Chain A
Amino acid sequence: MSKEVLRAIAGIDTFPVISLVLFVTVFALAVLRAFCMDRQTVERMAALPLHEDGGPQGPSFIEGASRGA
């Protein structure tokens, strides 16, 4: 029953189409950009958490702690 009513709304089909086009476009752009980034930038970005203190890893007790007994 609801199907008939919803189908009666003018242009109801356009909404899923709009969403699909939107999604595909933005996603494609993001993917394209991701794969066009130069290697140096990618490596620098990927290493950000490891160089957060502007140098090598913190004090040695940290390493000991994360390696377990």
Chain B
Amino acid sequence: MITPVAEPSRPHAGGAVETFAYDNRIVRQFAVATAVWGVVAFIVGLVVALKLVFPGLLAGIPELSYGRIRPLHTNAAIFAFAGNAIFVGVYYSLQRLCKARMYSDRLSALHFWGWQLVIVTAALTLPLGFTTSKEYAELEWPIDLLITGVWVAFGWNMIGTILRRRERHMYVAIWFYLATFITVAMLHVVNSLELPVSLLKSYSMYAGVQDALVQWWYGHNAVAFFLTTPFLGMMYYFIPKAANRPVFSYRLSIVHFWALIFIYIWAGPHHLLYTALPDWAQSLGTVFSVMLIAPSWGGMVNGLLTLRGAWDRVRQDPVLKFLVVGVTAYGMATFEGPMLSLKTVNGLTHYTDYIIGHVHLGALAWNGGLAFAMLYYIVPRIYRTSLYSVRLANVHFWLATTGILFYVIPMYVGGITQSLMWREFTGEGLLRYGNFLETVVRLAPMYALRAVGGTLFTAGAVLALVNLYRTAQQGSFAAEEEAQAPALVREPATGAWHRRLESRPVQFAVFTFVAVIIGGVVEFVPTFLVRSNVPTIETVRPYTPLELEGRDLYIREGCLGCHSQMVRPMRAETERYGDYSKPGEFVYDHPFLWGSKRTGPDLHRVGGKYPDSWHFVHMKEPTATSPGSIMPGYPWLYERKLDTSHIEGKIITLRRLGVPYPEGFEHEARAALEEQAARIAGGLTSAGLPIDPDREIVALIAYLQRLGTDIKPRPSHTQASAAGPNGGL
């Protein structure tokens, strides 16, 4: 038992009444950023969607090719739209829940401008092809460092504010904010460990199976702690505010919080079901994923029941409308998520557009719904006016809701259709749709419908932008909102441990951090053991210098946005692609390139499947070899000279990471590269396709022809194969 004497004192309300001002300026800045970047993210998404309907759209411009702007869209939606929305919610609610101004205006400004700088650098580097290729963590190492600094500024400011609060207790929303800060910091640092080659090129510290494990541990938890926990914090603040009644069950919110942070952190591996992951990790992930339904639905019910007695207002108030749709979509998406982790369901939906539908249900309805509800709530208040047009907001609501339906339903239908087509056999035991293209062509109407949905949603967001702008115009901005509250006085700590913890944010943060770390470490021990336990395969060799350069081009062009490199051990896949993928084949893959979506076929066994000339013709104009293909052409690869200026550095960097290039090989790398390029170019030229050996396409062909060939006999029919297998290695 802790005695009052031994225990340090804690803050206590009851001192002299103090007058202070909430900082609405930072709230406004983040609100503007949310609305503007949101519209940008939606428009880029629309362009990406339209490219699948009209492959010729903006064709021939490398910076606007599908593979490069798809990550731009995902990053803009997650970090620019949802990210800024989180900060609007945190800066608005935290000050009011703590009855204190933000700790430091300077840190607030640093956070705001730093975050916008991250977004701008992402918007420049991703279309230029500077990417790590790890999904939702594509930004290169200098930007990773910038993100780390900005995130620290955010956390420092938040914790500082909490320490200076005038309210003894920490409302549940603040717990969610703290968990967000701590966990995202950990995820970002662990997943971004990479060794730089140059200013904008690095290789992941991890390889193959291990890299995939770390990446999807990050990917899953980024969804949890960036797109879920902060929005739940916002839900627990803004629903009671908008409905003007307390949260339905505060007890349930506590259970919700603890269950979420513990379960989520362990459920990562389910993203890799049916791949080369060990069974136990798959099963563990699945069990925890299924268990996630309970707290998620508890949270949803808690949010919706808070509206008890206020449902009549939902019909009139756009804020409540968006909140209700958002929370309902949260419930649907968190039911769907665990279902998707079940092996049979996962086998059906993985790599298909079903997953795209699933994530957009979450992003558009849950994150989008809460973000817009919050903007409609906050902007009139900080401008001391009422919303410019409730009718316009209602039109936005219906455009958004129908847009989401038009988006999600075609993706569900298309995803299942394609998956069933992939696995359909004839009575003779042959694949009914042996040509992958047949399954792509079938999806064309679904892609068109999806673009309609995206257009509706984007149109709604533009109306919101106009509405919020006019609201601001008609009001007068209250940059400093005066408030009064009694100062906290110190009093000895008493009461139950949980209550003491709640009123001590630093201890609380440390406890959460320790809890999450333990969870992470326990899951990570096998992950680190995996590295030394992945069976090495005698015939698996490091990439030749030319193949390595080709691989980096594959990364630059974002090929993994449409092509996986992971043949699952299912008959439908081994029939279509060849032998299933083995963990030992990826031991030199920094980073792994398994991909997560098959708009095009898997490429892990593409090496040797076609002659070099096929790739040469196909990459320039895909429809020339594959009529009906929606893949864009890559004409610039035939004009640009391969940049080999960093080949020595790449070899040295990869050797440091454990790839067994012999000592001194970096000095021979360039010669080996040129020799292999000359061989491939010579083969192509003799096949009637003249090309200089120093063009980028030669390197890409070298890489594609290498894929998956380590454990099968070297192909005999590639134009260049006669001259030796390993280009000097």
Q: Which positions in A face B, CB cutoff 8 Å?
A: 1-3, 5-6, 8-9, 12-13, 15-16, 18-19, 22-23, 26-27, 30-31, 33-37, 41-50, 52-54, 57-59, 61-62, 64-69
On whether the beta carbons of A27 and B262 are closer than 8 Å, the reply is yes
- Within the complex, the shortest CB–CB distance from A66 to chain B, in Å, comes to 6
Please, how many angstroms separate the alpha-carbon atoms of A23 and B266 in the complex?
A: 10
Q: Are A50 and B258 in contact (CB under 8 A)?
A: no
Contact (Cβ within 8 A) B250 A46: yes
- A46 B497 Cβ-Cβ under 8 A: no
Instruction: Tell me, yes or no, whether B167 is within 8 Å of chain A by CB.
Output: yes
Question: CA–CA, A53 to B19, complex, Å?
Answer: 11
Q: Which residues of B contact A66 (CB under 8 A)?
A: 242, 317, 319-320, 377
Instruction: Count residues of chain B with CB under 8 A from any CB of chain A.
Output: 76
Say whether, besides A22-B519, A49-B240, A53-B483, A2 and B251 are in contact (CB < 8 Å). Answer: no
Binding site secondary structure of chain B: helix
Minimum distance in angstroms from B180 CB to a CB of chain A: 18
List 16 contacting pairs A-B, 8 Å CB cutoff, sorted by A: A2-B533, A19-B266, A23-B262, A26-B258, A26-B262, A34-B251, A34-B252, A41-B499, A46-B246, A47-B246, A49-B237, A57-B244, A58-B381, A59-B384, A61-B385, A66-B317
- A1-B582, A15-B525 given; A8·B497 CB < 8 A: no
Kindly list chain A residues whose C-beta atoms are within 8 Å of the C-beta of B498.
30, 33-34, 37
Instruction: Give the distance in Å from the alpha carbon of A5 to the alpha carbon of B583 in the complex.
Output: 11
Given the contacts A27-B259, A48-B167, A5 and B485 also touching, CB distance less than 8 Å: no
Interchain CB contact (< 8 A) of B241 among A6, A16, A50: A50
Interface residues of B in 363-409 (CB under 8 A from A): 377, 380-381, 384-387, 390-391, 394
Q: A1-B535, A6-B278, A68-B317 are in contact. Are A42 and B251 (CB under 8 A)?
A: yes
* Per-position binary interface string of chain B over residues 261-284, scored 1 when its CB falls under 8 Å from any chain A CB and 0 otherwise: 011001000000000111110001
Residues of B within 8 A of A52 (CB): 96-97, 99, 167
B469 interface hit (Cβ, 8 Å): no
Chain B: residues with CB nearer than 8 A to chain A?
Answer: 93, 96-97, 99, 167, 169, 171-173, 209, 236-237, 240-242, 244-247, 250-252, 254-255, 257-259, 262-263, 266, 276-280, 284, 313, 316-320, 377, 380-381, 384-387, 390-391, 394, 483-486, 496-499, 502, 515, 518-519, 522-523, 525-526, 529-530, 533-535, 582-584
Residue in contact with A5 in the complex, picked from B259, B317, B483, B533, CB distance below 8 Å:
B533
Instruction: Please name the residue on chain A nearest to B321 by beta carbon.
Output: A68
Q: Given A19-B523, A45-B171, A54-B484, are A33 and B497 neighbors across the interface (CB < 8 Å)?
A: yes
Inter-chain contact B254/A6, CB cutoff 8 Å: no
Q: Which of B258, B318, B534 has the largest count of A CB atoms less than 10 A from its CB?
A: B258
Taking the closest CB of chain A, its distance from the CB of B501, in whole angstroms, is 9
CA A23 to CA B212, docked complex, whole Å: 24
A34 to B263, CA, bound (A): 18
Q: Does A69 contact B390, Cβ atoms closer than 8 Å? A: yes
Which among B99, B386, B394 is the interface contact of A64 at CB below 8 angstroms? B386
Chain A neighbourhood of B252, CB < 8 A: 34
**Which single residue of chain A is at the shortest CB-CB distance from B245?**
A50
Query: How long is the Cα–Cα vector from A12 to B296 in the complex, in angstroms?
Result: 30
User: In the complex, are the beta carbons of B391 and A69 less than 8 A apart?
Assistant: yes
A63 CA / B266 CA spacing, docked (Å): 43
Known interface pairs A49-B93, A54-B485, A66-B319; A43-B254 also in contact (CB < 8 Å):
no
Residues in B with CB closer than 8 Å to A5 are: 533-535
Q: Which residues of A contact B384 (CB under 8 A)?
A: 59, 61
Q: How far is the CA of A1 from the CA of B579 in the complex (A)?
A: 14
B167 lies within 8 A of A2 (CB): no
With A6-B533, A19-B522, A54-B99 given, name 12 new contacts (CB 8 A): A2-B583, A5-B535, A9-B526, A37-B498, A48-B167, A48-B169, A54-B484, A67-B313, A67-B317, A68-B313, A69-B316, A69-B391
Find out whether the CB atom of B250 lies under 8 angstroms from the CB atom of A45: yes
A47 to B240 Cα, complex, angstroms: 9
Judge whether B244 and A50 touch: CB under 8 Å. Answer: yes
A67–B386 CA distance with the chains assembled, in angstroms: 10
A10 to B: closest C-beta gap in Å: 10
Chain B residue contacts of A35, Cβ below 8 A: 251
Q: Contact: A37 with B276, CB < 8 Å?
A: no
Q: Are B535 and A34 in contact (CB under 8 A)?
A: no
Flag if B515 contacts A26 (CB, 8 Å).
yes
Residue of B nearest to A19 (CB): B522
Minimum C-beta distance from A45 to chain B (A)? 5
B171: which of A3, A9, A48 is its contact (CB, 8 Å)?
Answer: A48
Could you tell me the distance between the alpha carbons of A26 and B533 in the complex, rounded to whole angstroms? 32
A67 to B237, CA, bound (A): 18
Determine if B529 and A9 form an interchain contact, defined as CB atoms under 8 angstroms apart.
yes
For A35, give the chain B residue with the smallest CB separation.
B251
Check if B533 sits within 8 Å of A45, measured CB to CB.
Answer: no
Given contacts A22-B519, A57-B244, A62-B381, contact A67 B276 (CB under 8 A): no
B247 (CB) vs chain A CBs: closest residue: A46
Residues of A within 8 A of B97 (CB): 48-49, 52
- Nearest to B484 among chain A residues (CB) is A54
Given the interface pairs A6-B278, A46-B246, the reply to whether A65 lies near B241 with Cβ below 8 Å is: no
Q: Is the CB of A22 within 8 A of B251?
A: no
For A33, list chain B residues within 8 Å (CB): 254, 496-498
B318 and A37 form a contact (CB under 8 A): no
User: Which residues of the other chain, A, contact B529 by a CB distance below 8 angstroms?
Assistant: 6, 9, 12
> Chain A residues with Cβ under 8 A from B518's Cβ?
22
Partner of A31, one of B209, B255, B317, B381: B255
Instruction: Report the Cα distance A61→B383, complex, angstroms.
Output: 11
Across-interface contacts of B237 in A (CB, < 8 A): 49
Q: How far is the CB of A5 from chain B (nearest CB, A)?
A: 5
